[in-house]
Amino acid sequence: MAYTPKKGITNNKWNKANYERLDLMVPKGMNEEIKKAADELGYPSKRMFCIDAIKEKIESAKLD
């Protein structure tokens, strides 16, 4: 499907309703480490790698 300005507006509206933004600053060099780890573990993106890592940390911190 070709990109059109209307499609961009629709995508932005959907993203705003379904996602929250989390800006993350990391020390110099860490961005490349994250990219390398994500690639080696077969993640399609750094974003998905970071989301899974955060979820994993939250789950391991839960006390029963």
- Tens of pLDDT, residue by residue over 7-63, are 999 999 999 999 999 999 999 999 999 999 999 999 999 999 999 999 999 999 986
Instruction: Compute and round to an integer the Cα radius of gyration of the chain.
Output: 16
Nearest to 22 by CA among 61, 1, 44, 53: 53
Query: Is the pLDDT assigned to residue 2 strictly greater than 90?
Result: no
Query: Is the pLDDT assigned to residue 64 strictly greater than 60?
Result: no
Structure tokens at 49: 């790698």
Structure tokens at 54: 């955060």
pTM for the full predicted model: 0.76
Query: Residue 62: what pLDDT?
Result: 85
Q: Which amino acid is at 12?
A: N
